[in-house]
Structure 1
Amino acid sequence: MPMTRSAPLLALTATLALAACGGGGDSASAPEETRAQDSRNSFAPVDPTAKTFAALPAAGDTVDPATTSRWAGVLGGAAYRVEVPANWNGKLVMYAHGYAGEGNALAVTNPSIRRYLIANGYAWAASSYSKNFYDVRVGVEDTNALALAFNQIAAANGRTLASPTRTYITGHSMGGHITAAAIEDEALATARNKVRYNGAVPMCGVLGDTELFDYFAGAQVTAQAIAGVAKNPFRNWGDVQAQVTTALFTQFPTAPVGTTALGNRYKSVLKNLTGGERPLFDLGLAYGGSFSAVWGVFGRDGTVNGILNKDLVDTRRFTYTIDNDPAGSAALNAAALQVTGQADANRLRRDGLRWIPVANGDFRIPVVTLHTLGDLYVPFSMEQIYKKRVAAKGNDAWLVQRAIRGATHCDFTVAEQSEAFDAMIRWERDGVKPKGDDVVTPATVAQPSYGCNFTRNTIGPDDSASTAQLRGLIAQSGLNCPAQ
């Protein structure tokens, strides 16, 4: 174990040992309590008999899909895919997919940078996870379990491989949360399946972990307050949703989203909740569609739909701001319902990772993040929270963050993602830290050119139609970067 990790890991291990011995009021013999998620056991892979999967479509480049080994199967109740090129470079990339809803069908998602990985000799592997819902805990454990089983899976399929010389992790959205949590000292100390990653690229990630759910609540209580229904009980959102929507929007959620006079005040509050003044916020709200997902989760209880047993949502850390209106801001803060969570809702556990693993900033490996400025579902403020946490731990020398001028959630081009991953690899290999963006200085983030440094609008064969359409809309709106 590297010396740089030993002290924090020893401290954390001591904390866990204290808990196991009854510290903090727990009895040594008392089992950990169960939760709703533990009783949900009907999840199943879409195709449990699959032994392989489709080759990457040819695109007239140098990648020959026919030369890769492609294996599929089930491990610990989770479906998986593994792909290894013929000219494997000895390095393994684990991919963590995003939130898959609350259905029972488990599906594997290929990494969006698959073509880049194959072309450069990387093997990759991805798990469906053994459960759906917002279960980051199982996402970390199943992704790690698959990484540990890589050589065994290869041998079972007739290909003997050396152990990977490096293992990296990347993921989108909830998968970005999984990526950030998996590299934490806490995961190394508490996970049942332990993997020491060499580098990470969380994209559009929930890097503020449970603070995302605080944001959802803050967006709800301010919408209610501005619409004049602040005292309505928080959980009865369905009773007032139509009234609030009519008060704030002339058109919603169909694009272009339009706001009333009251809605303009709410729009200002929402901008400041999600990262402050920045390019692409207006376009993200009007055309991106990501805020409709936020509107759809209003009124949910703070157990994250049974991932926890107690309500953790807390809005007391927010001071709501309406631009250029101190009196209105003060009135809003007085009127908005305060939601208070329970401090121990997501405590450390004796039986492995905590139920919602955290992104505390306890890591010392190269990490490069990506986030779009127009994302209102997992907003840009997640990057700001993460930066502050990492800096508070004294580890910001290991973090590079990049802002992308995309209009919705995870709205990256493949070129942007490949470039970020390549930057992390070169950093880990050569020791030269790549460039990034300042995400926390308001005047910098507010610049009209902010996000231009790493935005790449070139559309390739693996880019989605929605990304191509939205990048075109950005250009039509005059928001393209000067050189693009």
Structure 2
Amino acid sequence: MRLRALTIAAAVTLTGLLASPPAQATADRHLEGQLPSGAAYLMDVPEQWNGTVLLYSHGYRPVGSPKTGEDAPSSDAREKLLAEGYALIGSSYASNGWAVTDAVPDQLATLDLFTERFGAARRTLAWGTSYGGFVTTMLAERHADRFDGSLSMCGLVQGGVANWNSTLDPVFALKTLLGSDVPLTGFADQGAAQQAAGALTAKVDEAQTTARGRARIALAAALHGIPGHNDPSQTEPAPGDRDGQQANQYAAVRGLLQFPAFSWRQEAESRAGGNPSWNTGVDYTAMLHRSPLFKEVDELYRKAGLSLGADLGALNRAPRVSADPRALAWMRETSTFTGRLTDPQLDIHTTGDALIPVPSEAAYHRAADRAGSGRLLAQAYVDGPGHCTFSSGEMLVALHALEHRLDSGRWDASPAGLNSRAREADPTGDARYVRYVPASYPRPYDRS
């Protein structure tokens, strides 16, 4: 469907728009503008609006990235949804980084603006990818009165505290076992964080040249739940090909060091007012033995002639990192989930995700069960490597499965059904849903 553009200047504020009469939804509209916070919003409303509005939350953007609005996860998904009659809206966030305290009000303001311009929707759904899946779940838990349901795709649904704890574990193992003295928290600024990242990356690169070093990198990868095939550009290792699995994990570990573990952590700590993570009291022997990657690590250690027990003992004896109480309190207040859902939520996740490993879904499932919301939560898994590497069809059928739950009161999210409908929605795309049970999250969901 070709949209006839109605562009609102970026300088127009929410107040100015509220003073305008509501638009009639009789012609395709494309609206862009700026909220009072400085966030940019985007709206696409088809001529034949079906009464459902989809509020899309975008993924993590590092500080310094452009702040542009997004209202769909891809251009292909946007075109297909507009053709089906959905109104699509979304905003950037007033700041980039760990911006949940900006993202949530900006998204709600965008929804308010849509209602003023086009009237109340018959149904309002929140959806988002990656960090946007985190924002979506925050909207679903804390602003349930505004939404009928939610879809989190490859979302950071373990929440902030669990995420930063899990990110700490692999770098703690690398620092300890590779003999580095880099700080892992408490960076003065981005320069200090990047310097630490560079120093530890150099140690990892050196370690990768020896069998002993490769075994230790595999151990660190296992503590974060990094799978052995985690990027579509990688060759998928044969079953039992431990060297191939480790080579793929090494690439992901380098990515973890370059961005989340240091640079992104420093930005989050600057918001929290200190370090919100800890590994005091963590038993790394028990954590590894619970991991589905234990066998790989054990075999690589044996091949290298290295004692896994001795290295785990060294980890358990090493000086630990304690959380700053005020920073931990801030992270819990702003970024932790209770699992208490009022409306249905569907989560989808790729099985080969290294950035937000799939056990994050087990963490949220456990939280929802404990909160008595298990019947409202469904989770489905796409068998593929990479972070958020869904086809348009795989995303759209998840959205329609959520709608089916709202219409019928029951979930219909079986792999066979989702794949059949995905092929109909996107005949040239992938349809890879599988029956899958993620491993338990490596750390307790949120317990100090």
TM-score (norm 2): 0.71
What displacement does 1:453 show? 7.5
User: Which residue identity does 1:386 align to in structure 2?
Assistant: Y
Q: Which residue of 1 aligns with 2:165?
A: 214
- Equivalent in 46, 55, 66 of residue 85 of structure 1: 46
Which whole-Å deviations, capped at 9, do the CAs of 1:248-274 have from their partners, x for residues lacking one? 324xxxxxxxx8443234324423532
Aligned 8 A contact 2:31 2:43 in 1: yes
Structure-to-structure mapping, 1:80-479, within 5 angstroms: 80-103=41-64, 105-112=66-73, 113-154=77-118, 161=119, 163-184=120-141, 187-188=142-143, 196-210=146-160, 211-229=162-180, 232-235=182-185, 237-238=196-197, 240-250=199-209, 260-274=211-225, 283=236, 286=247, 290-297=252-259, 298-299=261-262, 304-316=268-280, 317=282, 319=284, 320-321=287-288, 323=294, 325=298, 327-328=309-310, 330-347=312-329, 354=333, 356-435=334-413
Where does structure 1 lack aligned partners over 5 or more consecutive residues? Answer: 1-46, 52-65, 155-160, 189-193, 251-258, 438-450
Separation of aligned partners in 2, 1:149 and 1:480: 36
SS of the equivalent of 1:179 reads helix
Separation of aligned partners in 2, 1:79 and 1:425: 28
What displacement does 1:335 show? 4.6
Aligned 8 A contact 1:416 1:454 in 2: yes
User: Which residue identity does 1:262 align to in structure 2?
Assistant: G
Cα distance, 1:453–1:93 mapped onto 2, change above 3 Å:
closer
Structure 1, 277-286 or 262-271: larger mean CA deviation? 277-286
Aligned 8 A contact 1:414 1:462 in 2: no
What displacement does 1:122 show? 1.2
User: Which residue identity does 1:78 align to in structure 2?
Assistant: A
Q: Which residue of 2 aligns with 1:442?
A: none
User: Which residue identity does 1:432 align to in structure 2?
Assistant: R
SS of the equivalent of 1:214 reads helix
Aligned 8 A contact 1:405 1:452 in 2: no
Cα distance, 1:242–1:368 mapped onto 2, change above 3 Å:
closer
Cα distance, 1:416–1:380 mapped onto 2, change above 3 Å:
same
User: Which residue identity does 1:330 align to in structure 2?
Assistant: L
Which whole-Å deviations, capped at 9, do the CAs of 1:371-412 have from their partners, x for residues lacking one? 112211122121121111111111111111112122111111
Aligned 8 A contact 2:170 2:221 in 1: yes
TM-score (norm 1): 0.66
Separation of aligned partners in 2, 1:114 and 1:480: 22
What displacement does 1:97 show? 0.5
User: Which residue identity does 2:204 align to in structure 1?
Assistant: T
Separation of aligned partners in 2, 1:296 and 1:462: 37
Aligned 8 A contact 1:279 1:405 in 2: no
Aligned 8 A contact 1:362 1:393 in 2: yes
Cα distance, 1:404–1:343 mapped onto 2, change above 3 Å:
farther
Equivalent pairs counted in the alignment come to 369
Which whole-Å deviations, capped at 9, do the CAs of 1:203-232 have from their partners, x for residues lacking one? 111111221111221110112223233x65
Where does structure 2 lack aligned partners over 5 or more consecutive residues? Answer: 1-8, 14-25, 186-194, 237-244, 299-307, 436-448
Separation of aligned partners in 2, 1:462 and 1:295: 38
Q: What RMSD over aligned residues (CA atoms) do the two structures have, in Å?
A: 3.8
User: Which residue identity does 1:294 align to in structure 2?
Assistant: L
% identical aligned pairs: 20
What displacement does 1:337 show? 4.6
Cα distance, 1:232–1:71 mapped onto 2, change above 3 Å:
closer
SS of the equivalent of 1:347 reads helix
User: Which residue identity does 1:84 align to in structure 2?
Assistant: V
Separation of aligned partners in 1, 2:283 and 2:380: 25
What displacement does 1:49 show? 5.5
Separation of aligned partners in 2, 1:318 and 1:385: 18
User: Which residue identity does 1:200 align to in structure 2?
Assistant: S
